Amino acid sequence: MELTEEMIGQLKADLSKAKNYEDLMGKDGAIKKLIAKSLEQMLESELTEHLGYEKHSPEGKNTGNSRNGKTHKTLKNDNGEIEITVPRDRNGQFDPIIVKKYERTIGPIEDKIISMYAKGMTVRDIQSHIQEFYGLDVSSTLISNITEKILDIATEWQNRPLESIYPIVFFDAIHYKVRDEGSKKVTSKAAYTCLAVETSGRKELLGLWVGEAEGANFWLNVLTELKNRGLKDILIACIDGLKGFPEAINTVSPKTEIQLCVIHQIRNTLKYIASKDQKEFMKQLKPVYSAPTEEAALENLKALEERWSGKYSLALKSWRQNWDNLATFFKYPEEIRTIIYTTNAVESVHRQFRKVTKTRSLFPNDDALKKMLYLAYRDLSKRWTMPIRNWAIVLSNFSIIFDERLEPFL
């Protein structure tokens, strides 16, 4: 079924006016208008087939049945509601296939369409999918316009103003294969992720950046951008063991406490432990990071060194070198410790990214990767409606520990 020139013209006009995701996907958004018009056109085609003659055709005379106006219908899906009109026949025998007579819900059509745009598919593949799923023949120009608009919306989101303070921010990166612009060379790119916990206790992704392999210099650029967008203070930053990362954070936010991910530290340690000794080693390592106080943890670390330093001095050396940033969580009660001792919160986001991107071994460019991750985050963030566990206790402790820094924002 071909989109009419009028429909295409209207959609282009709506796209040109769209300034944010709501303008594109909201109640009166461009894509919802397209879906509504498309459904109505398909329903008209179904009624024509049911009656056996075109609208206003003289062939309909004396057939015993005819068109009999339209009824309004509201369809619900994951992104809200779509208002359509459904044609009727006089005998009440018309039972459409595309939207059943008593059906009130439809699948997330918009998300399916937008997901195709974000996956770096070729124009031909996108056209083929839309034709197969929705019976629509859309032009390559129209697809390009919609694709560019998604990138515009992602860019606007990326540059939005931030809160002045976030109690906790998790920093991590996930890696993908991306083709370099204008060449056939494929490189490994890092998608840098900053997952914050707001003062309300809800999670928020501060942004997504795509750059070369993960490094402290790039992270410094990210942190500077966050500051330029309004971020003035982070109470605790949770990071992996990347060299130079703590210094990069404190360059931009000098008062921020650094918590190295204990799980990353354990993984890196085990790389230098023979497999036959790992079980016994871990049994003696656990009392170090699970100790009730830093003093007890240091005593347990000393005992661990006495047992294993002769054989695995390299593995144990990093615990002493990183101790100041590894031991940060010992200052806090259990409710805070369980949140900050690992970067698992942001790694959970990355696992969701992997689920979405698992069919893509290679992205054609940085923009295709950015769009796909942005849309994956948008869907994931719909679940972030409640504060994280025990947040009232956490915030109460923070308000005492970081009184002067946090009080103006509570």
CA distance 39 to 135: 10
pLDDT above 70 for 8? no
The closest of 356, 374, 372, 355 to 364, measured between CA atoms, is 372
User: Which tokens belong to 325?
Assistant: 């940033």
The dihedral region occupied by 390, where left means phi > 0, alpha psi between -120 and 50, and beta the remainder, is left
Residue 5's CB is within 10 A of a number of other CB atoms, namely: 8
pTM for the predicted model, two decimal places: 0.72
Residue 365's CB is within 10 A of a number of other CB atoms, namely: 15
DSSP class per residue in 239-306: E---TTHHHHHHHH-TT-EEEE-HHHHHHHHHTTS-HHHHHHHHHHHHHHHT-SSHHHHHHHHHHHHH
Q: Please, are residues 142 and 15 in contact by the beta-carbon 8 Å criterion? A: no
Return phi, psi of residue 70, to 5°: -140, 160
Q: Which amino acid type is present at position 232?
A: K
Residues comprising the chain, all counted:
410
Sign of CA dihedral 112, 113, 114, 115: positive
Tell me whether residue 92 is exposed, middle or buried, using C-beta atoms within 10 angstroms of its C-beta: 0 to 12, 13 to 18, 19 or more.
exposed
pLDDT above 80 for 116? no
Quick one: what percent of the chain has pLDDT higher than 90?
47
pLDDT above 50 for 61? yes
The dihedral region occupied by 201, where left means phi > 0, alpha psi between -120 and 50, and beta the remainder, is left
CA distance 267 to 285: 12
CA distance 113 to 136: 12
Q: Convert the pLDDT of each residue in 152-195 to its tens digit.
A: 788 889 999 999 999 999 999 999 999 887 677 899 999 999 99
Sign of CA dihedral 334, 339, 344, 345: positive
Confidence of residue 52 (pLDDT cuts 50, 70, 90): confident
pLDDT above 50 for 124? yes
CA distance 273 to 298: 21
Collapsed DSSP state (helix, strand, coil) of residue 195: strand
Residues 6+ apart with CB under 8 A from 162: 206, 226, 229, 230, 231
Return phi, psi of residue 275, to 5°: -60, -35
Q: Please tell me the predicted confidence (pLDDT) of residue 121.
A: 62
- Cα 27 to its chain centre, rounded Å, is 22
Q: Please, are residues 241 and 268 in contact by the beta-carbon 8 Å criterion? A: yes
Alpha helices per DSSP H over 322-343:
323-326, 334-340
pLDDT above 70 for 1? no
- Cα 59 to its chain centre, rounded Å, is 54
Q: Please tell me the predicted confidence (pLDDT) of residue 324.
A: 95
Q: Please tell me the predicted confidence (pLDDT) of residue 4.
A: 63
Q: Convert the pLDDT of each residue in 265-320 to its tens digit.
A: 999 999 999 999 999 999 999 999 999 999 999 999 999 999 999 999 999 999 99
Q: Please tell me the predicted confidence (pLDDT) of residue 219.
A: 93
Q: Which amino acid type is present at position 314?
A: L
Confidence of residue 241 (pLDDT cuts 50, 70, 90): confident
Q: Please tell me the predicted confidence (pLDDT) of residue 136.
A: 60
Ranges 30-39, 138-147, 262-271: which has the least confidence: 138-147
pLDDT above 60 for 112? no
Q: Please tell me the predicted confidence (pLDDT) of residue 152.
A: 78
User: Which tokens belong to 321?
Assistant: 């070198």
Confidence of residue 203 (pLDDT cuts 50, 70, 90): very high
- Between 366-380 and 109-118, two packed helices, what is the crossing angle to 10 degrees? 150
Q: How high is the mean pLDDT of the chain? A: 85
Instruction: Please identify which residue in the block is written with the tokens 């809160």.
Output: 163
Task: Select the highest-mean-pLDDT range: 16-20, 56-60, 346-350.
Answer: 346-350
196 or 110, higher pLDDT:
196
